[in-house]
Structure 1
Amino acid sequence: MRLARIAHPSGVAFAAIEGDEVAEIAEHPFGQPQFTGKRWPLADVRLLAPILPTKLIGVGKNYAAHAAEMGGEAPSTPLLFLKPSTTVIGPGAAIKRPPNSQRVDYEGELAVVIGQPIRNVPASRALEVIRGYTIANDVTARDQQQADVQFTRAKSYDTFCPLGPWIETDLDPSDVRIRTTLDGETKQDGSTAQMVHTVADLVAFVSEIMTLLPGDVILTGTPEGVGPMQAGQEVSVTVDGIGTLTNPVVDA
């Protein structure tokens, strides 16, 4: 099932995408969705960020080749950071480059959407608590990350976490291709099979540290090939089995 959050003629709602139509979901998309009976053509609604999480947990250097291009090695335990919920935007919304950064990078990633409240879930059960998967672009002010030697400022600007276009509930995350293009030119091309820490291990590790709530998002790391974006360009991240997330880039 593909779960989306949409702007429709009467407001905003969660919905299931069924071919070229969307079916409105009552209240929330967790558990067994209840439908209102309202339907619209997909072409008549606007896709928004599929979820507004209470928190986004990023994972740094979870692909060895990306760690190497950043000048280091992949850590033996997951390297975590947080992005505020105000970084989230949806498909087609503009990524805004802040005027105090000289280099703003794309980072295409598979994103995990948590489906229920969890704490201390073992890796053997971690996939059971996932509602589904979406696509993320973990936008980063690279010059500020390097200057600060930590991630908070560089990862936290408004618009720095495009999510979408929807949540795919039926996906095996162990080996899916991730590609990022900039103005149509391929910049990243990797697979989740190259992750140092698997999706199940990440969910288990994070849940040892903090309670995860329905809709919380874990960004699972980016393959090698990160690089800068300029105003006027368009960046797209494609994850096989989910779709493509596309956003224009502008100067704030």
Structure 2
Amino acid sequence: MLVGRAQTGDAVRWVCAHEDGMRPIEDPFAAFAEGREPVIIDERVEGRLLAPCEPVVLVGIAQNGPAHPSPVQAWLKSPRTVVASGETVSLRSDAGAVVAEGEIAVVIGRPTEGLTAANAHEYVLGVTAVNDLSSPERVVMDPRNFESKSGAGYTPLGPWIDTEAGLDSIPLVVAVDAETVATTDARELPVSIRDCLAYVAGWTPLDAGDVVMTGAPHSQAPVVPGRTASVAVGRVVLTTPFI
């Protein structure tokens, strides 16, 4: 199931993608806690898709690129940088070049106490697409990634959470202005998604709605104002125009 959040009139509702449009559903995290898919509760609705969740903790995975000499590590990014698919992002002009980093984002479904690499799928609601926008020139003076990744809107996320996607093999495609610049897969990550989740959960508690961005395996592209980037993670396609 593809689940997300939509602004419908004055209300924000959980919805799923249906053949006739968006259908309201019950809280998918409550359903996940009971070990089942959320139930469709109403007929088709009109609305604007929002970011598919509101993470309290937003984790990035570092050193998960090809042949990186350091072991996998994690860092924190402000959840206030999260924006919806289709929302225009203003690129900072004071931080050097900007790079779109297409990544597979994992949405946690329940508290992660007891999570291991072997059982990680039991704690995951689903996966979505994320564009971990970065200003890499700032890393020279800011190795902790605070300046390079903290711009307003620098974490486009969504628009859907795919609750049926696995963790071991997920296609990832990045395009700029409809021209494909990267095609890869979760299998190309030197450290698997399962191992990344186990590493993060081993050091800090995560809970329903938190997000782990799993790294950019050959999936980066420079962007400038006037361009539009897209990140496709399986069935989920995220688009972000830049000014």
TM-score of the two chains, using structure 1 as the length reference: 0.88
In structure 1, how many angstroms separate the alpha carbons of the residues matched to 2:219 and 2:115? 33
Evaluate the alpha carbon distance shift between residue 225 and residue 165 of structure 1 in structure 2; reply closer, same or farther with a 3 A threshold.
closer
- Between the two proteins, the alignment pairs up a number of residues equal to 238
Evaluate the alpha carbon distance shift between residue 62 and residue 186 of structure 1 in structure 2; reply closer, same or farther with a 3 A threshold.
same
- For structure 1, which runs of at least 5 residues remain unmatched after alignment? 68-72
In structure 2, how many angstroms separate the alpha carbons of the residues matched to 1:117 and 1:19? 32
What does residue 124 of structure 2 align with?
Answer: 130
User: Partner of 1:86: helix, strand, or coil?
Assistant: helix
In structure 2, how many angstroms separate the alpha carbons of the residues matched to 1:225 and 1:136? 11
Counterpart of 2:139, as a letter, is Q
- Identity among equivalent positions (%) equals 29
Evaluate the alpha carbon distance shift between residue 243 and residue 88 of structure 1 in structure 2; reply closer, same or farther with a 3 A threshold.
same
User: Partner of 2:41: helix, strand, or coil?
Assistant: strand
- For structure 2, which runs of at least 5 residues remain unmatched after alignment? 32-36
Q: Residue 149 of structure 1: CA displacement?
A: 2.5
User: Partner of 1:209: helix, strand, or coil?
Assistant: coil
User: Partner of 1:148: helix, strand, or coil?
Assistant: coil
Evaluate the alpha carbon distance shift between residue 189 and residue 21 of structure 1 in structure 2; reply closer, same or farther with a 3 A threshold.
same
RMSD (Å) for aligned C-alpha atoms = 1.8
Confirm or deny that 1:181 pairs with 2:168.
no
Confirm or deny that 1:25 pairs with 2:34.
no
Q: Residue 145 of structure 1: CA displacement?
A: 1.9
In structure 2, how many angstroms separate the alpha carbons of the residues matched to 1:143 and 1:24? 43
What does residue 75 of structure 2 align with?
Answer: 81
The structure with the largest strand share of the pair is 1
In structure 1, how many angstroms separate the alpha carbons of the residues matched to 2:201 and 2:116? 9
Q: Residue 225 of structure 1: CA displacement?
A: 4.8
Runs of 4+ aligned structure 1 residues displaced above 4 Å come to 33-36
What does residue 204 of structure 1 align with?
Answer: 198
Contact residue 23 and residue 35 of structure 1 kept, 8 A? no
TM-score of the two chains, using structure 2 as the length reference: 0.91
Pairing of 1:1-252 with structure 2 (within 5 A): 1-26=1-26, 28-32=27-31, 37-41=41-45, 44-64=46-66, 73-76=68-71, 78-240=72-234, 242-250=235-243
In structure 1, how many angstroms separate the alpha carbons of the residues matched to 2:224 and 2:48? 25
